[in-house]
Amino acid sequence: MRILIIIAAILIAAPLLGLGGVYFVSEAKLRDVTYDPAFEAPIPTDAASIEHGRHIARTRGCFGCHGQQLQGKDFDEQWDWPERAVAPNLALYAREHDVATLEAAIRQGIGANGKGLVSMPSYNFARLTDEDLAALIAFLRSAPVVEIDLPKPKLGWIARWSFATGEETHYEEWADHVPALRVDPEAEPQRALGEYLAMTMCNECHGLDLRGATLWDAVTPDLIIVSAYSRDEFEKLITTGVAMSGRELGLMRLVAPDRFPELSKEEIDALYLHLTALADEPVPEGVFWRP
Ligand code: HEC
Ligand code: HEC
């Protein structure tokens, strides 16, 4: 009789211990982050810097994911990951948190709760300059606060399991894998601008070094594909999401018209220069997140 009770107890306890284990290991992994030195740059208050910050927010997709009024967004209908992703109200967040916390979230992929972020693509912003980041923060703090009811985000068991097993890693780790910018701005200023723009706008989806990646069920091409485009066809593609010869694209068709129409001619020239120059360079090996 006693043995049956022990067996029953084990049968009940084992799954609970298992869940507890997944919970604790995933929590430990999410909290395993290393902070860079705290960001202390002064935040500008002049109108030109705030307008520049708005341009950064627009071209880096903050509006698309956080709402066109920065009011926040529930991704429950769009994404299963990490069960329920909820992008917070950015105008409010920017006022409630200090500059170092904002920088850690935006560039380093660490949330205000000290855990690695899991659906905010901070790796795309890891190389933003201090100046652009300060302007971005200035803009977020100046934007009117529009409050809506947002549900609580949820980290589901499937997501916890993939963090616990190491199948997935949080974005603080991804941000660490973003390659350094290579083009020397003294020697090639226009190409350096193009590299900077691409590495803070396109590597969200096209791979940390722009040379292609897998994205959920889609595969994004190596951006040397831009060499097949003329300068005008390229401008049309990134401002409308319509490919050469009018071919309809998927995700690119959604993000391009939201983010890139306000790029200046100079920015588009610089992007085109850098991306076409990539065709002469071998694909680096062993880059994190390459398919
Ligand atoms: C692909 C969608 C996406 C884009 C693009 C995006 N965010 Fe987010 N962001 C999210 C989600 C989702 C969260 C919620 C946290 C999480 O699940 O990782 C978030 C969280 C945040 C947080 C709070 C982090 C915390 O929990 O403390 C800040 C700050 C933030 N984003 C700023 C920005 C800024 C600034 C931009 C533009 C430069 C931006 N985001 C672009 C989706 C996005
Ligand atoms: C949010 C994800 C996302 C971002 C950001 C993004 N792309 Fe794309 N892009 C895609 C996907 C996905 C495809 C594959 C086609 C499709 O499904 O839309 C694609 C396709 C392309 C193509 C190939 C078009 C063809 O002829 O097949 C080019 C060129 C391109 N993107 C350039 C860029 C450039 C340049 C940037 C940055 C300025 C950029 N993309 C930013 C997701 C993205």
For the chain, what are the domain ranges? 47-176, 180-280
Which ligand is located closest to the Cα atom of residue 61?
1
The yes-or-no verdict on residue 136 having pLDDT over 70 is: yes
Q: What is the pLDDT of residue 190?
A: 98
For ligand 1, the distance from its centroid to the CA atom of residue 230, given in whole angstroms, is 34
Which ligand is located closest to the Cα atom of residue 56?
1
| Protein residues with CB under 6 Å of any ligand 1 atom | 57, 60-62, 64-66, 85, 87-88, 90, 93, 102, 105-106, 111-112, 117-121, 125, 136, 153
* pLDDT (mean) for 34-62: 97
Mean pLDDT of the chain: 94
Cis omega before residue 15 (within 30°)?
no
Instruction: Please tell me the distance from the alpha carbon of residue 102 to that of residue 95, in angstroms, as a whole number.
Output: 10
Q: What is the pLDDT of residue 228?
A: 96
Per-residue pLDDT reduced to its tens digit, 190-214: 999 999 999 999 999 999 999 999 8
* pLDDT (mean) for 87-110: 98
| Protein residues with CB under 6 Å of any ligand 2 atom | 201-202, 204-206, 215, 218, 220-221, 223, 225-226, 237-238, 243-244, 249-253, 255, 260, 271
The CATH number given to 180-280 is 1.10.760
Q: What is the pLDDT of residue 291?
A: 67
Nearest to 198 by CA among 220, 168, 167: 220
**Predicted TM-score (pTM) above 0.85:** yes
For the chain, the distance separating the N- and C-terminal CA atoms, rounded to the nearest angstrom, is: 55
Which ligand is located closest to the Cα atom of residue 216?
2
Provide the pLDDT confidence category of residue 17 given band limits of 50, 70 and 90: confident
Provide the pLDDT confidence category of residue 10 given band limits of 50, 70 and 90: confident
H-helix segments, the chain: 2-31, 47-59, 62-66, 90-96, 99-103, 130-142, 157-165, 171-177, 189-201, 231-240, 251-259, 265-277
Per-residue pLDDT reduced to its tens digit, 224-254: 999 999 999 999 999 999 999 888 899 999 9
Q: What CA–CA distances, in Å, run from 229 to 198, 238, 252? A: 16, 11, 16
